[in-house]
A and B are shown apart, each in its own frame.
Chain A
Amino acid sequence: MVVEEHERYDEAVDGVGDPLTLGGSSVTDPVRRALARGVRARPGLTLAPATVFVTLAFLIPIAMLLWRSIADPEFGIHHYSDALQDSSVIRIMTRTFKTAVLVMLLTLILGYPYAYVMTKVGRRMRTTLLTVLLIPFWTSIMARSFAWIAILQNNGVLNAALSAFGLPRVQLLGSETGVLIGMVQVLLPFTVLPLYATLRTIDPSLMNAAEGMGARRWQAFRIVYLPLSVPGVFAAGLLTFVMSLGFYITPDLLGSPSNSLISQLIATRVSTLLDFGSAGALAAILLLATLLAVAVGARLSRGPISNATKDR
């Protein structure tokens, strides 16, 4: 099931590139076939660079972090028991998951129609929509967070606009709403791209068929289109959710301490207290909770996906 989902994702992501002609059109067919043969013949070799990279850049640091969480300063699980007995750790962890769920829902609500429209418009318009989506994506996350400060602050752009229309000022900088606005904006491309990848594979004639058989437009969408898009919704939602869990810069700059997320707590442990052990334990707890959430998400998605595939 998972493999199939990945294949469809890859295939669709290739498609994402095509409006911008990112495909390798200069590579001739024989070359491509030879390359493909090589890939098939020695999968181990082709995987080697990525494996080495992932090991060096990800697995070793993770292992060191986990090691420190049980061995720094002395051997034992005291960092874990301390963390799980600390009510502020529990509170911030809960807040982190709540924020991630909210961001996921908001990005899906905003991203779904956007991705849908991208599948309906012509090539030129699609390129425009993609560019509009990707320009902020190519801008540094710091620059975007500072831009949001300029917009949300007390005498910022937003409040200037509100008072120009005679509306009351709002204090968004340092609030949960401010954090959500910033995170949703940063994560929107990560939601729209996988969604678009799935939506573009849905055969538009299915909707016509449903309407031909007497379904109203909304009914056809609800009964035919929506279930077929569920795998994309889950893929996009899961990606956004997991990325939200590790957010640091945006909540730090746009929120107040009462909106702080677990990354900020980990950062304080590292930079103010130089307590790498307890920071490692917090990171390990976050990792475990994330894996659990992903497992639950995958479990939940199985039903709708297989139904949708069967229906096809």
Chain B
Amino acid sequence: MTTNNSSIRRPAVAVACAAVAVLGLTACGGGDKDASDGGTSKLTFTGSGGVTQAAMGVASLKPFAKQFDVSLTEDEPVDIAKLKVMVESKNVSWDVLHTSPFLVDQNCGTLFEPLDTDIIDLSKIPADMVSECAVPVAMSATVLLYDANKYKGDNVPKSWADFFDTKKFPGTRGIAKAAQYGQIEAALLADGVAPDDLYPLDFDRALKKLDGIRDDLVYYETGAQQQQQIESGDVDMLIGWPGRVYAAVQNGADFEPVWEAALYLPDVLAVAKDAKNKDTAMEYINFALTDGPQAAYADELPYAAVNTDVAPPSDAAIDKFAPTQQKIAEYHVLGLNSAWWSKNMSDMTKRWTAWVTR
């Protein structure tokens, strides 16, 4: 609780400084921590819209704005190309971005600000998930999910190998249109590559494995599309995002996750380069990682908390689809290596495009 208190005070100082700056007064080095009233600092949050952004609103954005008297603006969707144009034209209107880590790691320092670890308390966040510019805020995953109305009894897919076995499990398979969402890793694991030897990815071997199911593939670009394809019966199994499949299940679809050797990938928060409200952005990130907001987000949607002190969600339906720390340990869930992808994105995307557009 004491850490919470000190974290509450810092934005107050920032708020006061901003107010003073607005009034054209100088010097803000003082330690008058009670000057929390009056003036409003600003924060622009950009997420991917839909249910995840709504949940962020409930779990951390609105409480943060209320508690620290911050005037909040929300935007969507995250478009890093747009951010690049903003940064180049020196008119950055976004502060905090909620996105996947690939482009953040790749453009750390050029499009994103390094995290201010004086403001952000990382003591409860697994160190291997934090990078210089991106801090995880929720656990997402890439998982094999199958239609339990089609595959029943003992004859259900249990591993990545089953996903690639169209004789034993005939039916359509959903995968991402982009290369970096797990299908390459899944193909290699199915082909017998040991988890420890996964990276650097043997791309040609993976494509060869994918050749075997090419005629049964259906592609999605977004989470919403996964949901639509599940609800319309266009896919029988998919390498998908359990958070979105959970939403389809809420709408009546009957899909089951296979957690064995699934891939986890955290959603991250990052601060835009030259953000107008950089300090408030760092304060917000710190707030979003604390126990309360972490538990609240994990209770809204099956994106598990990254804060190791937070217990698994109480709702069993949500817990089933959430990549919790407990599941990661129990089912040998692997980390999708976003740092490797960031370094090789251009080359891999071109090779993937050559295969997928054939």
* Residues of A that sit less than 8 Å from B by CB: 86-88, 91-92, 149, 153-156, 173-174, 252, 256-258, 260, 265, 268, 270-276
The minimal Cβ–Cβ distance linking A251 to chain B, given in whole angstroms, is: 11
B218 within 8 A of A: yes
- Residue on A nearest B103 in the bound complex, by CB: A274
B350 within 8 A of A: yes
Q: Is the CB of B232 within 8 A of A88?
A: no
B3 within 8 A of A: no
Q: Is the CB of B234 within 8 A of A272?
A: no
Known: A88-B354, A272-B345. A256 touches B84 (CB 8 A): no
Please tell me which one of the listed residues A86, A92, A257, A265 contacts residue B219 in the complex, with CB atoms under 8 A apart: A257
Binary interface encoding of chain B residues 326-358 relative to chain A, with 1 for a CB under 8 A from any of its CBs, else 0: 000000000000000000011001100110111
* Residues of B that sit less than 8 Å from A by CB: 79-81, 84, 103, 107, 177-178, 217-219, 221, 228-229, 232-234, 345-346, 349-350, 353-354, 356-358
- Residue on A nearest B83 in the bound complex, by CB: A274
The distance in angstroms between the C-alpha atoms of A64 and B354, with both chains bound, is: 28
Q: How many A-B residue pairs have CB under 8 A?
A: 64
The distance in angstroms between the C-alpha atoms of A263 and B177, with both chains bound, is: 15
Q: Is the CB of B234 within 8 A of A153?
A: yes
A-B contacts, 7 of them at CB < 8 A, read A88-B354, A154-B232, A155-B233, A174-B218, A256-B218, A271-B81, A275-B346
Complex contacts, B79 vs chain A, CB 8 Å: 271
- Residue on B nearest A92 in the bound complex, by CB: B357
Please tell me which one of the listed residues A149, A257, A276 contacts residue B356 in the complex, with CB atoms under 8 A apart: A257
Known: A256-B218, A257-B357, A274-B103. A86 touches B84 (CB 8 A): no
Q: Is the CB of A273 within 8 A of B345?
A: yes
Complex contacts, B219 vs chain A, CB 8 Å: 174, 256-257
Complex contacts, A153 vs chain B, CB 8 Å: 228-229, 232-234
Q: Is the CB of B81 within 8 A of A274?
A: yes
Please tell me which one of the listed residues A86, A173, A270 contacts residue B350 in the complex, with CB atoms under 8 A apart: A86
The minimal Cβ–Cβ distance linking B203 to chain A, given in whole angstroms, is: 15
Please tell me which one of the listed residues B81, B178, B232, B358 contacts residue A258 in the complex, with CB atoms under 8 A apart: B358
Q: Is the CB of A91 within 8 A of B346?
A: no
The minimal Cβ–Cβ distance linking A278 to chain B, given in whole angstroms, is: 9
Complex contacts, A156 vs chain B, CB 8 Å: 232
Complex contacts, B358 vs chain A, CB 8 Å: 88, 91, 258
Complex contacts, B228 vs chain A, CB 8 Å: 149, 153
The distance in angstroms between the C-alpha atoms of A90 and B52, with both chains bound, is: 39
Complex contacts, A173 vs chain B, CB 8 Å: 234
Please tell me which one of the listed residues A92, A252, A276 contacts residue B221 in the complex, with CB atoms under 8 A apart: A252
- Residue on A nearest B82 in the bound complex, by CB: A271
The minimal Cβ–Cβ distance linking B125 to chain A, given in whole angstroms, is: 27
The minimal Cβ–Cβ distance linking A283 to chain B, given in whole angstroms, is: 14
Known: A153-B232, A153-B234. A274 touches B356 (CB 8 A): no
- Residue on B nearest A265 in the bound complex, by CB: B353
Q: Is the CB of B357 within 8 A of A258?
A: yes
Complex contacts, B357 vs chain A, CB 8 Å: 88, 91-92, 257-258, 260, 265
The minimal Cβ–Cβ distance linking B134 to chain A, given in whole angstroms, is: 16
The distance in angstroms between the C-alpha atoms of A274 and B82, with both chains bound, is: 9
Complex contacts, A273 vs chain B, CB 8 Å: 345-346, 349
Q: Is the CB of A274 within 8 A of B107?
A: yes
The minimal Cβ–Cβ distance linking A165 to chain B, given in whole angstroms, is: 19
Q: Is the CB of B80 within 8 A of A155?
A: no
Please tell me which one of the listed residues B84, B232, B346, B350 contacts residue A155 in the complex, with CB atoms under 8 A apart: B232
The distance in angstroms between the C-alpha atoms of A271 and B222, with both chains bound, is: 14
